[in-house]
């Protein structure tokens, strides 16, 4: 029986994680559930899973939440804020931590899980983008197991040889990592119409149902850019060892191309319960609730190259990683602010990339090697991005 903390339990990944856990009551027990604002869903989840703890990180009235919690799950205790998140991520009773908070807000709890040697299931890609070196060092120092939930990285992990961690890229006979992406909802929209796309249109992803922030990131392909950086850290590679391939059907979740001409691909329905179940049970396999692929229904798989004029954010991510230092931290922070402003209808769709680029230029050379230094850079980038938005770029 493994005890699981789900950070971000009320989000899209959190809900899918609980759906898989529910299918295996003899293997997994929920230790803690966390939410930022959706208290009513958190209480429903507490009633169903009877965790030892729930954590609310956003503003709330503790005594009111405690009273409601007592009615649905009398043995569950309430913790609050970042402190509560970190506590349930590193608690000695916990075996597995699902890191599914969105954005840099997930950094410190995810790092706490890595430092405490947990099996960390990483959905929160932003924490690797912000502090990849420190996160990977924490995993090595503590002996934690880091398993990717992002469908592409989970696919790559499944296509790599078992000896990859010892041997690395070249000695494993790998020629390239092929990172696939659907291209989002605006793949075929005329470029001159992109700037008038609304938040609702941007969040209507053709294949995946996800939270709003990652949905907008998929439309700009910043998501793929963040994933390139995530892959560099996870697999200890450089950007020139990765090729981004557009694959609109989202059936192949990514591929590894080997020196002998073999290309291994992981395929499946676009349903996050597959990578979640894979990582929860690794190295075993368990049922996830996902139907197997029907190749006759799929019938066609197509591929093309991404166009940087359509997806300037993708290029910015390559630039940020190549510039090095804390530039990925800067880009991630600016992007979180710009996406929030787009969702609030303060800026247009194409202005997301403009804000991101301006912030990167303003913070050229930013670097830090401590977590506090990176958090300071993140804060500075946020305030510069906000200023650019208010100056009406
Ligand atoms: P979501 O918006 O649906 O859920 C986010 C969760 O984080 C919620 O539980 C929310 O309460 C919590 N949260 C939000 N702000 C917070 C804050 N400031 N402090 C603490 N908690 C906070 O997002 P999602 O789509 O589930 O994505 C979660 C993470 O997983 C993201 O990093 C995303 O990039 C990654 N991911 C998601 C998918 C997907 O299919 N949804 C796929 C791959 C990777
Ligand atoms: Mg992904």
Residue 45 corresponds to which tokens in the numbers above? Answer: 């989840």
Pocket test for ligand 1, best of 6, 10, 11 (most atoms within 8 A of CB): 11
Last residue of a domain, one of 227, 245, 269: 269
Query: 292-339: per-residue pLDDT in tens?
Result: 999 999 989 999 999 999 999 999 999 999 999 999 999 999 999 999
Calculate how far, in angstroms, residue 190's C-alpha sits from the geometric centre of ligand 1.
30
Same-domain check for residues 132 and 12: yes
Q: What is the pLDDT of residues 86-121, one digit of tens each?
A: 999 999 999 999 999 999 999 999 999 999 999 999
In this structure, are 256 and 344 located in the same domain? no
What is each CA distance from 361 to 126, 354, 366, 383, in whole angstroms?
Answer: 20, 11, 10, 14
**CATH code at position 98:** 3.40.50.720
- Ligand 1 binding pocket (C-beta < 6 A) is 8-14, 35-38, 57, 100-102, 105, 123-126, 150, 208, 210-211, 213-214, 272
Does residue 254 share a domain with residue 182?
A: yes
Instruction: Please report whether residue 20 resides in a domain.
Output: yes
Asked whether residue 26 falls in the same domain as residue 137, the answer is yes
Please tell me the distance from the alpha carbon of residue 23 to that of residue 28, in angstroms, as a whole number: 9
Q: Same domain for 133 and 68?
A: yes
Domain limits at 224?
A: 167-269
Q: Is residue 116 part of a domain?
A: yes
In this predicted structure, what is the pLDDT of residue 336?
A: 98
3-class DSSP assignment, residue 219: helix
Separation of CA 153 and ligand 2 centre (Å):
7
Bridge partners for 29 per DSSP: 3
Residue 14 pLDDT class (50, 70, 90 cuts): very high
User: For the whole model, what pTM was predicted?
Assistant: 0.98
Q: How many domains does the chain divide into? A: 3
Q: Are residues 144 and 9 in the same domain?
A: yes
Q: Is 371 a domain residue?
A: yes
In a domain, 329, yes or no: yes
- The residue to which tokens 């996902």 are assigned: 290
Write down which residue in 114, 148, 182 finishes a domain.
Answer: 148
284 within domain boundaries: no
Question: How high does pLDDT run on average in the chain?
Answer: 97
- Ligand 2 geometric centre to CA of 1 (Å): 29
311 part of a folded domain? no
For residue 292, being part of any structural domain is answered with: no
pLDDT over 90, % of the chain: 98
Domain boundary among 117, 148, 179: 148
Question: Do 116 and 191 belong to one domain?
Answer: no
Average pLDDT over residues 285-291: 98
Distance 336 CA to ligand 1 centre (A): 12
Q: Is 12 among the domain residues?
A: yes
Same-domain status, 265 and 364: no
DSSP labels, 93-131: T--EEEE---SGGGHHHHHHHHHTT-EEEE--HHHHHHH
């Amino acid at each position: 029986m493994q005890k699981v903390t789900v950070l971000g339990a009320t989000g899209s990944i959190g809900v899918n994680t609980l759906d898989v856990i529910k299918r295996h009551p003899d293997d997994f027990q929920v230790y803690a559930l966390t939410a930022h604002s959706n208290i009513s869903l958190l209480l429903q989840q507490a009633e169903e899973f009877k965790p030892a703890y729930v954590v609310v990180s956003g503003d709330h009235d503790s005594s009111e939440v405690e009273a409601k919690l007592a009615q649905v799950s009398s043995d569950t205790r309430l913790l609050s804020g970042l402190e509560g998140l970190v506590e349930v991520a590193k608690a000695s009773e916990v075996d597995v931590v699902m890191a599914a908070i969105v954005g840099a807000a997930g950094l410190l709890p995810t790092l706490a899980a890595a430092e405490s040697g947990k099996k960390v299931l990483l959905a929160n890609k932003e924490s690797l983008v912000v502090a990849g070196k420190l996160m990977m060092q924490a995993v090595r120092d503590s002996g934690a197991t880091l398993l990717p939930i992002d469908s592409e990285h989970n696919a790559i992990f499944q296509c790599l040889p078992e000896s990859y961690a010892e041997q690395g890229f070249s000695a494993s006979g790998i020629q390239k990592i092929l990172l696939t992406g659907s291209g989002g909802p605006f793949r075929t929209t005329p470029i001159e119409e992109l700037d008038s796309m609304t938040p609702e249109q941007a969040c209507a992803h053709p294949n995946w149902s996800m939270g709003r922030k990652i949905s907008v990131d998929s439309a700009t392909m910043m998501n793929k850019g963040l994933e390139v950086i995530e892959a560099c850290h996870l697999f200890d590679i450089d950007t020139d060892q990765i090729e981004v391939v557009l694959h609109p059907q989202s059936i192949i979740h990514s591929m590894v191309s080997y020196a002998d001409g073999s290309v291994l691909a992981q395929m499946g329905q676009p349903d996050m319960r597959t990578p979640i179940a894979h990582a929860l049970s690794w190295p075993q396999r368990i049922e996830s609730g996902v139907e197997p692929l029907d190749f006759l229904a799929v019938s066609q798989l197509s591929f093309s190259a991404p166009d940087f004029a359509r997806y300037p954010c993708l290029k910015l991510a390559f630039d940020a990683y190549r510039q090095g230092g804390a530039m990925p931290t800067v880009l991630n922070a600016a992007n979180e602010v710009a996406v929030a402003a787009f969702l609030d209808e303060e800026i247009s769709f194409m202005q997301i990339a403009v804000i991101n680029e301006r912030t990167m230029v303003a913070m050229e050379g930013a670097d830090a090697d401590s977590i506090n230094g990176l958090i300071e850079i993140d804060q500075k980038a946020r305030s510069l991005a906000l200023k650019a938005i208010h100056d009406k770029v």
